[in-house]
Amino acid sequence: MPNPKQKNNNSSKKKKIKFQTVRGMRDILPEEQIYWNKIRKAVDRVAVDYNYGRIDTPIVEPTNLFERTTGKETDVVKKEMYKFETQSGKKVSLRPEGTPSIVRAYIEHGMRTKPSPIKLFYIGPMFRHDRPQKGRYREFFQFGFEAIGEQDPILDAQIIQTALRIFSSIGISKTALQVNSIGCQECRPNYDNLLVSYLKNRKQALCMDCKDRLKKNPLRILDCKEEKCTQVVTQAPQAVDHLCPDCKKHFIYLLECLDELKITYSINPHLVRGLDYYTKTVFEIWSKDDEEGRVALGGGGRYDYLVEKLGGKKTPGVGFAAGMDRIVEEMKERGIKGAKTSQPKVFLAQLGDLAKMKSLSIFQGLEKAGITVAESFGRGNLKTQLKKANQLKVDLVLIMGQRESLDETVIIKDMTGGNQEVVTLGKVVIEVKKKLKKIKKEVRVK
């Protein structure tokens, strides 16, 4: 017969299940949120100033939305997109970027009938199955701004101004702006032929990915970070030298607008952004100390054929997006502080079940009056709770024990002077307001 004790011993030795985040994903803990909140506040504030309305689109979209817009041969769609089928057999993907979804929503909800340009912004998670590294995750967060319905290059300048304003509001004022023009449907084919002709003679010097790109997406080779490819494209034909009159005029006017705004920029003839829908203007914003380094803080450009590509009428557009994960890393590296948190001025200490129960209404009354309150609705004794109040550096501690609960009173203790007095429950909020006002006045005098 089996030994029951042996059975119990075996089951106790079973390996405990340990759950962790999936590779490339992570938790953003409360102490980290001060940085994220600072970015969100800056985005919201600038959006109001520049008349952008918020839009939230689904995380899951039809796969062909990105294949048709971002491009089947781009690394994003070909290698990095999370694709799967629903139970009904529909092919869907986790969104790898925001612009196609915004344009899809623009068409779906008939925004063309509204006054142009339609200005929209978004904040949310994106997903790419890329190699995880510092500042780059498989689930990452972006904010983006899109202006749809206007072809004037002044919108290109304003979208760049908007991006720089956000970075400046966060505290990242030292940035480097790179701009380029990659032409349109009229002049791009001629340039592509010139580029392919140049690269074909140097094909053996290219990396394996770029050899494949030469057939399907030659423009992307200009953006390759492999050293041998960067050497090859050094002498390659430049798009800005082969623009049609309209694209040339557009680009010159953009640069004049940037000059008028006193925005410093450099023309990077190898900047292409690597997504199929870009036309004319493309730009990237880098950390001043990392212009040739890891990842741009943000970037964007014009997409004048994207609406038409998704079944709408020909409608121009321009936008930009920025990676929040990368910005948080930059904030930390530069020693930029996160958003200020509201520190509690009052701590609510209670002893006994009845006191805890009555403290709930006190907490609610103070909260309604706009007074931030900390508490410890647990088993801690008075000494432990006062220690916590000291750590939080509150001005006042409200103490309610068994006796105060029966008398319906509260002890208000001034943590600076050590004075305390007893007040009735009905007067707690009024007395706390008076004391906090007095303390604030005394601090100003000092």
Query: In sequence order, what DSSP letters do the residues of 37-52 get, joined into one string?
Result: HHHHHHHHHHHHHTTP
Does residue 443 have a pLDDT over 70?
Answer: no
Examine the pLDDT at 246 and tell me if it is beyond 80: yes
200 domain residue, yes or no: no
- Residue at 438: amino acid letter: K
CATH number of the domain residue 389 falls in: 3.40.50.800
* Cα-based distances in Å from 429 to 137, 434, 435: 47, 9, 10
Say yes or no: 329 and 353 in one domain. Answer: no
- Residue 159 to residue 145: CA distance in whole angstroms: 8
Radius of gyration of the chain from Cα atoms? Answer: 30
Whether a cis peptide bond, with omega within 30° of 0, leads into 117 is yes
- Flag whether 363 is in a domain: yes
- pLDDT tens for each residue of 319-339: 999 999 999 999 999 999 998
Residue 393 and residue 291 share a domain: no
Residues 324, 435 within the same domain: no
Provide the number of structural domains found in the chain.
Answer: 2
Do 396 and 301 lie in one domain? The reply is: no
| pLDDT at res. 132 | 79
Domain that holds residue 147: 30-187+243-334
Sheet holding 317-323, edge to edge: 53-54, 118-127, 139-148, 317-323, 298-302, 279-287, 175-181, 266-267
Q: Are residues 109 and 169 in the same domain?
A: yes
Cross-sheet strand order for the sheet of 60-62: 60-62, 91-94, 83-85
pLDDT 10s digits, 90-102: 999 999 999 999 9
Same domain flag for 318 and 358: no
Residue 298, in any domain of the structure: yes
| Cα distance between residue 360 and residue 413, in whole Å | 19
The domain boundary residue, chosen from 280, 307, 334: 334
Using 50, 70 and 90 to split pLDDT, how confident is the model at 10?
Answer: low
pLDDT of 290 above 60: no
255 and 322 housed in the same domain: yes
Tens digits of residue pLDDT in 342-353: 788 899 888 888
Same domain, 125 and 105: yes
